[in-house]
Structure 1
Amino acid sequence: MRLKQVGAVVAALSLGAALVACGPNTNGNSGSGKASSSSAFSKTLSGDLKTYGYNPSDEVGKSRSDYATGELKGVKVTMDTSNFDTQKFAAQAAAGQVPDLIQADRNVIATLADKKLIMPMDQCYALWGVKPTDRYYPSTIADVTYQGHVYAVPQFFQASALLVDKRVLKKAGVSLDQLDTSKPDQLVAAAKRMTKAEGGKPTVIGFAPDVPGSTSTWFTVFGGRINDGSGKPTLDDPKNVKALSWLKKLTDAQGGYAKNKSLLDSMDVFGAKNQYVKDQVGVQVWAQWYVNVLAEYKSDVDIEAVPIKTLDGKTLAMAGGSALAIPTKSGNPSAACAWAIKVASPEAWQQASDARQQTVTKTKAINTGLFTGSPVADQANRKQYVKPSGDADFDQVINTYYDILPQNRSTGSSAVGQSITDSLNNAVIVALSGDKTPQQALAQAQSAAMRAWDQSNAGKKG
C-alpha cells in the first residue's frame, strides 16, 4: 500500500517540465574525460566516482556498495545518499555538475533517456560480459529500455500479491477461492461481506486494492495498459475504463472512497497495532517487502497470500523498483559502469544475502528472502537461506511471493512515464470520489499525458 501517495499527487512535479531546459549540450562535467555512448567505457579504472541516490542505509545496501567499491581498485567513491530528485538533477545538469552515477526510480529512466540526460548502457553491459535479460528479469529490463537501448541497471523486483487476514475471512464466511481476481464480480461480493461499519464509518475494509498506487496492475488484470509499445499514453483504453469502473464498484460496495481512505490513513501500518493485528482489513494488495514488517508480529497475525490473476486466469507479477544510470555528462563513465554492474551482480547479492541472514539470526526473525530483480540471485538466496520457519502461515506467504516471479510483467517504459503516472493517479481519485465518471476521468488524464507526449522527443518523432 502507498498510503501517503494520494496526498502527494497534486503536488507531484512533472519530470518533463523540470528537465525540458536541460539538454545534452550543457557545458562542463563532474570530472575528467568525456562521456559518449560509443567510446565511454573501459575496464581501466581510476579517479573519482560520485554517486547520487544510492543509500547504503541497511545491511543489504551497505554490503553491496562495500563489495562494488572494493572491486574498483584505484577509484575513490563518494556518495550523495539523498533520494534522487528531478529538480536537483535538472539544476546539476544545467550547471554542468552532474554526478557520475545516479539511482532513480525505473519509471523515470526513459524520460531521462528521451531528454538525452543519461547514456545507453548496452556497451557497458557488453564490456563486462553481461546479457541484461539473462541476469535480470525481462520486465525490469523492459522498464529501463528506450528505443531499443538499455539505459540502466535495475535493482529489486518485489511483486505484489493479495495479503489476506484469515480471521476476517472466517468471521465473514468468505473462502480463499472467492478471492480470485479473474472473477471480479465474485470479488466485489466477497469484499462487501467482509466489510464492517459502525455509525456509517467502516471499521473493517473487506478488500483494499491499493489505488491509485496499484492501478496499472488492475488495468493489466483487465487486459489494459497505461502506454503502448512506443511509450505513447493509452490511459483511455476501453479496457482501462472497464477496470476503473470495477474499482469504483468495489469501493462503493465498501462505503466509498473517502471513508475507506480515512480508515486506511489511520492504520498503524508499521506498528504493533497494524491492520492485520487489529483485523481491520480482509485483503490488501501488498508488495513483498511488507511481509518483513508483519514478520515482527507473527504471533499476532493469521495471514495467507493469494496471487493476482488476469481475467483469463493467468498469474500476474508486477512491481516497480530502482535502477542505476549514467548521466551523459558523467566525468567518469567507466567507473560508473563498473560500479553499477558490480553492485547489482550475483556476487554483490550474495554479500547482501549473507548480511541479511546475520541480521535474521541475531534478531531471531524470519528470513523472508531477497527479491533482487535478478532470477539468479533470487534463486541462490532462496536455496541457501529461505528455510521452513516453523510458522506455516509465513512459509506459505513467502513461497507465494517467490512462486509468482516467473510471471513478471512490465508496465512498459515511456518518455513521459511520470506524467502518465501523475495523470492516472489524479484520474483515479476523481473517478472513485464520484466527481467524474471513469470514462471522463481517464479521457482527461489521457489529454494531459498526451500534452507531455507531444513535447517529448519520442512524441515529436511520431
Structure 2
Amino acid sequence: MKKRRAALVAAGVTFALLVSTGCGGDDEGTGANAGTFDANVSGTLKAWGFNNADDVGKARLEYAAKQLSGVKIEIDQTNFDAQKFTTRLASDDVPDVVQMDREFVATYAAQGLIQTLDKCFTANNVTPKQRWYESVVGDVTYKDQVWAVPQFYQPPAIILNKTVMDAAGVTDADIDTSNPDKLLSAIQKMYKANGDVPATLGFDPQATGQTYLWTVGLGGKLIGDNGQPTLDDPSNVYGLELLKKITDAQGGFAKYKSFTDTFDTFGEKNQFVQNQVGAQVAAQWYPNVLSPYATKLKLAAVPFKDKSGKPITAAYGTSFVVPTKAKNPSAGCKWALALTDDGSWNAAAEARNTTLQGKPGSINTGLFTGSPGPDKAIRDKFVKPSGNAGFDQVISTYYEIAGAGKSVGATPAGQQMKQELTNAFTAALLGSKSPKDALADAQKNAMNAYKNVTGG
C-alpha cells in the first residue's frame, strides 16, 4: 500500500499481445461461463494476486477463505504482468480472478478478455455506488458497465512543513492551488538555493507523479464519454501552465527534478526532516512513512483545491477482474467481494493495529479501503489522538478529502494514455514544447493506442 503501483511491462507490448490473442470486443464475453454468476459457490478457485502480502493482506485472505469455506482456493501470489496475463488467457491456464491496477481494466474490457460484473453484483446483493466511493467505481466503469471489484484509494493532499513555512512567514491559507498568485508568492518566500541549485522547495507539486490531479483536479478532461482519450481538450492546458509557473519559480523543471530525485523519501533523512520542502503533494500513505519522525516534525495539511476553491482529489488503486474464460467465475467474483466487504477490512484493521502496537511511537493513520463505510468504521475504532496535534490534523485532512474524489474515467488506452500524459508534462515543463502542443502530440499517440486496442 505504501508504494504507487507501476506497470510491469510497456503498454505497447500489452496492446500487441491483446491484438494477438484474437479476442473481439464482445462486452459479455465468449467463454462458456461468461456473464453467469451465482452466489452459491463451490469447487476450486484459481486466483492471481497478493504478491508479498503484508499484515493487512494476510488478514483479508484469511477472512475471505472463511467466507468461501466450500471452495478450494489456489493463489498465484506474484505481481501482475500484462504479458503473462495475455499468455495465460491464450492457453488453458486461465485464473478465475486477477488483481490488477484499475488503469488496465478498460483495456481488457474493450478486448472482451474480462467479464462485466454487473450480474455478479446483483447475485450477491451488492450495489457498487453504495459499497465504494463513486470516484472509485468510475475508475472501473466502461460503456456504462462495471468490470472490476475495486480496492484501496489513497487520495493526495498537501502536507505542510510548518518549520519552513513559519520561518518564511507563510500561512496554511497561502498554500492554495485555487489562487495561483497567492501560491506563487508563498513559494518564492520559502524557496532557497545554493547558487542556482535548489536547497529548499517552497512547494513540491509532484509535477510528473500527480498528472491526473493537475488536470482533472483543475477542471480538465482526459477521457471522453465513449472512453476515447481527450488529452488535447483545451481545459487541460490550465493545470499544466500553472505547474510550469511553479517549477519555473524554483529553478526550472530540470533542476527541480534533479533535486527531488535526491530526497530520502522513505528514510530518516526525508525531505521533511531535512527541511527540503515547505509543502508537498503527497498520497494518503505517506503520513505512515513520516510517523516514526513525528516528534522531529511540525506538520499540517491542506486539501488540493479546484479553480473554484473546493477540495478535490484524484486517486489511483487496484482491483479484481474475472477473465472471460474463467472456469469458476462465480467463486472468483465472490472471493473478490469477500476481500472488500466490511468484515474483511475490519480484520485487516485489527491486524494492522496489532502490528503498530508492537512498534512504540507508531501512529495509526487508518486504512483507506475504497469504501466509505469501512473507512469510517476503522477511523472511529482505531485512529486515536496521538498527542501530536499537527500530525493528527494531517490524518484528518485525508479523511475529509476522501469524499471529494474525482474519477479520471476509464479508457482502453489507460496505461498508454497515462504515459503519454507524463511525456507531455515533461516536455512542457522543460520548455521544449508549449503545453498546448505537448498535449496535442500526446493525444495523437494515445489515440493510436486506443485504436490498436479497439480496432479503430
Partner letter of residue 437 of structure 2? Q
Give the direction of change, closer, same or farther, for the CA distance of 1:259–1:3 in structure 2 (3 Å limit): farther
Cα distance in 1 for partners of 2:445, 2:132 equals 33
Measured in 1, the distance between the counterparts of 2:61 and 2:236 equals 41
Distance between the aligned counterparts of 1:128 and 1:405, measured in 2?
26
Contact 2:11 2:415 in 1 (8 A): no
Structure 1 residues 247 and 225, CA, compared in 2 at 3 Å: closer, same or farther? Answer: same
Counterpart code for 1:448: N
1:34 equivalent in structure 2: 32
Matching of residues 437-448 of structure 1 within 5 Å: 437-448=434-445
1:5, distance to aligned residue in structure 2 (A): 9.5
- In structure 2, what is the Cα distance between the partners aligned to 1:341 and 1:452? 32
Q: 2:192 aligns with which of 189, 196, 211?
A: 196
Match of residue 30 from structure 1 = none
Instruction: Name structure 1 gaps, 5 residues minimum.
Output: 26-32
- Look up the SS of the partner of 1:20 in the other structure: helix
- Aligned to 1:284, what secondary structure does the other structure show? strand
Q: Indicate which of 115, 118, 124 corresponds to 2:120.
A: 124
Contact in 1 for aligned 2:266/2:289 (Cα 8 Å): yes
- SS at structure 1 position matched to 2:278: strand
User: What do residues 263-286 of structure 1 show as CA deviations (whole Å, max 9, x unaligned)?
Assistant: 111111111111110000111111
| 1:349 and 2:345 correspond | yes
Checking the alignment, whether the CA contact within 8 Å between 2:174 and 2:186 is kept in structure 1 is yes
Q: Is the 8 A contact 1:23 1:116 kept in 2?
A: no
Deviation by residue 1:73-99 (Cα, 9 ceiling, x = unmatched): 232212222221111111112223221
Note closer, same or farther for the CA distance 1:384–1:5 as it changes in structure 2 (3 Å cut): closer
- Equivalent residue in structure 2 for 1:237, among 226, 230, 233: 233
1:248-269 deviations in Å (ceiling 9; x for gaps):
1111110011111111111111
- The letter for the 2-side match of 1:84 is F
Structure 2 equivalent of residue 401 of structure 1? 398
Distance 1:344 1:438 in 2: 40
Q: Does residue 1:206 correspond to 2:205, yes or no?
A: no
Distance (whole Å) between structure 2 residues aligned to residue 375 and residue 415 of structure 1: 27
How many Å apart are 1:72 and its aligned residue? 1.1
CA contact (8 A) 1:49 1:76 kept: yes
The answer (yes or no) to whether the contact 1:46–1:75 under 8 Å persists in 2 is: yes
AA of the residue aligned to 2:50: Y
2:366 is aligned to 369
Pairs within 5 Å for 1:317-336: 317-336=313-332
Give distance in 2, aligned partners of 1:307 and 1:188: 17
CA deviation after TM superposition for structure 1 residue 188, in Å: 1.8
Please show how residues 39-438 of structure 1 align to structure 2 within 5 Å.
39=36, 41-55=37-51, 57-364=53-360, 365-438=362-435
- The size of the alignment, in residue pairs, is 449
- With structure 1 as the length reference, what TM-score do the two structures score? 0.93
Runs of 4+ in 1 over 6 A off after TM superposition: 2-6
8 Å contact 1:45–1:335 — kept in the other structure?
yes
Structure 2 residue matching 1:162: 3-state secondary structure: strand
- Say which SS state the counterpart of residue 203 (structure 1) adopts: strand
Q: Distance in 2 between matches of 1:4 and 1:435?
A: 28
* 1:4/1:201 CA distance change after superposition, 3 Å: farther
The CA RMSD over aligned residues, in Å, is: 2.2
Secondary structure at the aligned position of 2:358 is classed as helix
The answer to whether the Cα contact below 8 Å between 1:235 and 1:446 also exists between their aligned partners in 2 is: yes
Letter in 1 for 2:214: W
User: 2: CA distance between counterparts of 1:121 and 1:206?
Assistant: 46
Deviations 1:221-265 (A, max 9, x none): 331121122221111122211221221111111001111111111
Aligned residue identity for 1:371: F
SS in 1 for 2:202: strand
Rounded to whole Å, the distance in 1 between the matches of 2:220 and 2:171 is 28
CA contact (8 A) 2:191 2:250 kept: yes
Distance 1:3 1:261 in 2: 19
Separation (CA, whole Å) in 2 of partners of 1:12 and 1:194: 39
Indicate the SS of the match to 1:281.
coil
Please identify, of 63-72 and 224-233, the stretch whose mean Cα deviation from structure 2 is larger.
Answer: 224-233
**Structure 1's 5 and 399: CA in aligned 2 closer, same or farther, altered over 3 A?**
closer
In the alignment, what sits opposite 1:21? 20
8 Å CA contact 2:8–2:81 kept in 1: the answer is: no
Q: Distance in 1 between matches of 2:449 and 2:164?
A: 44
**Cα distance, 1:385 vs structure 2:** 1.1
Report the Cα distance in structure 2 between the residues aligned to 1:190 and 1:372, rounded to whole angstroms. 34
SS at match of 1:197: strand
User: How many angstroms apart in 1 are the aligned matches of 2:11 and 2:168?
Assistant: 39
Counterparts in 2 of 1:4 and 1:330: CA distance versus 1, 3 Å:
closer
Shift in CA distance, 20/188, structure 1 to aligned 2, threshold 3 Å: farther
Letter in 1 for 2:152: F
Residue type at the aligned position of 2:86: A
2: CA distance between counterparts of 1:319 and 1:76?
A: 34
Measure, in 2, the Cα distance between the counterparts of 1:286 and 1:117: 34
Q: Do 2:314 and 2:407's aligned partners in 1 also have CA atoms closer than 8 Å?
A: yes
Unpaired stretches in structure 2, ≥5 consecutive residues: 25-30
Q: Could you list the per-position Cα deviations for residues 108-127 of structure 1 after superposition, in whole angstroms to 9, with x for gaps in the alignment? A: 11111001111011111111
1:28 maps to none
Q: Which SS does the other structure have where 1:78 is aligned? A: strand
CA distance in 2, matches of 1:94, 1:164: 50
CA distance in 1, matches of 2:324, 2:10: 29
Give 1:199 deviation, angstroms. 2.6
In 1, are the aligned partners of 2:9 and 2:82 still within 8 Å (CA)? no
1: CA distance, partners of 2:131 / 2:315: 17
1-structure distance, mates of 2:5, 2:355: 30
Distance 2:331 2:174 in 1: 53
1-structure distance, mates of 2:421, 2:69:
46
Helix, strand or coil at the partner of 1:320? coil
TM-aligned CA deviation for residue 44 of structure 1: 3.3
